Amino acid sequence: DHVTINVPKVSTYTSHSWYSILATMKQQKRVGWLNNSIKQFFDLGSGFVCNSYNCRDSASLSQPGLCGLSNLGNTCFMNSALQCLSNTPPLTEYFLEDKYEAEINQNNPLGMRGEIAEAYAELIKQMWSGRQSHVAPRMFKTQVGRFAPQFSGYQQQDSQELLAFLLDGLHEDLNRVKKKPYLELKDANGRPDSEVAKEAWENHRLRNDSIIVDIFHGLFKSTLVCPKCSKVSVTFDPFCYLTLPLPLRRDRLMEVTLVYADPQRRPVQYRVVVPMMGAISDLCESLSKLSGVPAENMVVTDVYNHRFHKIFQMDEGLNHIMPKDDIFVYEVCKPSEDGSEYITLSVYFREKTMRQSSNTAGTILFGQPLLISVPKHKLTVDHLYSVILEQISRYVKLPLAEEHSTPCPDKGTCNGSNGVVEGDFEEMEHQDGGQEGKEKVSEVDPCHSDGCMQTESAKDLQPCKKQHFTFSLVNSSGTSEINSIVEGKILKVNAFSALAIDWDSDTRRLLFDEQEAQAFEKHASMLQPQKKKAVVALRDCIELFTTMETLGEHDPWYCPNCKKHQQATKKFDLWSLPRILVVHLKRFSYSRYWRDKLDTVVEFPIRGLNMSEFVCDPRAGSYVYDLIAVSNHYGAMGVGHYTAYAKNKVNDKWYYFDDSSVSVASEDQIVTKAAYVLFYQRRNGE
């Protein structure tokens, strides 16, 4: 049997849609099924996958190195890292000239029996053959997954972590040292830095001697000072790449809308400054200073689609609030001096509709939800009706005739339905002559007769007013009723229980002022021009890296003089730098309360990066570097997409590598907030 495959369609699907489909499936937790499907899809054969990708630009197929890499399913991180390494001239020349064959170390217990080096060599030869516009690095991924299980599946990973594994794996597979000698580390003990550094580098080369060390390894100087006895410890340690911290902003701007307890005041939008790693209580304190509303009277909510998506606790971290969230802060009542206990309720607006398909009744949410505080002993339908009517009086205008309605002729409950259904309530206690019972009853004035509800004392008739909406006790999203409500009885509800007030379409259209309901005012803080996002220079990151810091209490240093762990001061300096300098910008930050990606733009030079001023070896030569590759990450932490910019060593032109696609790039496109790992090559003769 023969199967006809439309190659262009497969190409379009795999190169443009595959990533978004994977991301969606990942969010839906369909990982097991996804991994299975991907494996079956790509097990159709390497020839099919390779031929199912087309280069999207006019890059010449005969140009060595301009070869895309097929996305095997969330492998863009691997493709980005490989394109950077592929465009590192001394490493690629080493493999293309087959120099690696004589240096494969199959017996190194720390290596991978030479299999990683051989798989990488085969892939590089394909990419630089000039015969293919793209290749599928399936065999290479399989070998990597065998020795590093974290990269074996189809989950999104970190390109820098893969680079670290590859450089270490290639080093051990190509280590020229067959039997590593045992060496004891020695402290400086007052000896000159040059002597200690030379000793450290020689000891390193006695155990580690490979093309990776030749090209990528440099030397740190680490200085530790004990705060108690002032003991100074100086050591020199090799490194394969520089991980540079980015200057962190200590605060963030948030836009929130304050809904006042005064029903006649429009909501006001504020822009507040809060600590980057602060809590909801910090947001309330900042807002209190601008608005005058006590912080303890605030409830912070995330409103989405006419309902409360989340109601925050005061001790929750602000990292749970994303920049695009609609944050509404409600002013609510707190217990009064007489000790009355208040219950805060969520109130949703719903319109009653008829489903045409089934001819059954339904509801749809509309408007801005409310938070109201009611004394627990007054939790009756009658009292709630009057409280809500007052809260919405700014944008729900009652007819003038209802201001002077006539008393209901009958005592008690009139005939006719008020739309309130029965449910779980507590009977109100009414003792004859009891003052408390009289007060409760006299406070509520709605009555019903032909759609009108009344409650009156034994002596006086109360005005009869039409009830414009009915109540339901609903779930937190307002979509389904979980209990019913009976008039004249105390509700059994908890804090932040949700009530729905249901309107018929005609009443909503006549009384509900949509424009006024959505109206808000802007505080002066919203009118102040926002500061532009800070732009950080690469040298700022290097200076921050070499700044002295005090070790944390969970990361102390053992002082040999004090014979105990101390929170010493620590300082890193650069003693010597490699031919290829790999700079990892630490964009992903982690803490107990905060996990985020820093989108700060780091300005780095395309050519002429002078690192000489940061090298502390007084006898060092000039260290001037030119950029040769960049690994980019777009999106948030844990998701997103990786690409690469790289300079072709044959024609010295820049190209953009996006999985199987290769296109020409210009230098002004390279410096972006997506830049994650930078590759610099030291100038010849430096």
Burial class (CB in 10 A: 0-12, 13-18, 19+), 582: buried
Burial class (CB in 10 A: 0-12, 13-18, 19+), 546: middle
Which residue among 55, 67, 76, 226 is the active-site one? Answer: 76
- Closest alpha carbon to 278 in 299, 252, 298: 252
Q: How far is CA 71 from the centre of its chain?
A: 24
Active site residue 171: no
- Closest alpha carbon to 290 in 252, 254, 343, 339: 254
Place of tokens 């010849």: 684
DSSP 615-684: B--TT----EEEEEEEEEEESSTT--EEEEEEE-TTT--EEEEETTEEEE--GGGT-STTEEEEEEEEPT
C-alpha span between 304 and 318 (Å, rounded): 18
CB atoms within 10 A of CB 680: 26
Q: Which tokens in the block code for residue 534?
A: 């800070």
Residue 281's contacts (CB-CB under 8 Å, 6 or more residues apart) are 295, 314, 315
Residue 564 near residue 264 (C-beta atoms within 8 A): no
**Three-state helix/strand/coil letters over 448-471:** CCCCEECCCCCCCCCECEECCCEE
Residue 124 near residue 117 (C-beta atoms within 8 A): no
C-alpha span between 106 and 113 (Å, rounded): 4
Residue 310 near residue 301 (C-beta atoms within 8 A): yes
Q: Which tokens in the block code for residue 90?
A: 């001394």
Residue 234 near residue 535 (C-beta atoms within 8 A): no
Burial class (CB in 10 A: 0-12, 13-18, 19+), 413: middle
122, 125, 127, 130: CA torsion to nearest 10: -150
DSSP 51-75: HT---SS---TTSTT--EE---SS-
Q: Which tokens in the block code for residue 322?
A: 């994303």
DSSP 494-514: -TT-EEEEEEEHHHHHHHB-H
What is the gyration radius of the CA atoms in the chain, in angstroms? 35
Residue 306 near residue 342 (C-beta atoms within 8 A): no
DSSP 546-560: TS-EEPPTTS-EEET
Residue 64 near residue 135 (C-beta atoms within 8 A): no
Q: What is the DSSP letter of 189?
A: T
Query: Cα 159–163–167 angle (5° rounding)?
Result: 175
Pairing of strands 268-275, 595-597: unpaired
C-alpha span between 417 and 425 (Å, rounded): 19
Helices H / strands E in the chain, number of each:
18, 35
Largest CA distance in the chain: 109
Active site residue 641: yes
SS3 289: helix
Which residue among 134, 383, 468, 641 is the active-site one? Answer: 641
C-alpha span between 256 and 290 (Å, rounded): 12
Supply the residues annotated as catalytic. 76, 641
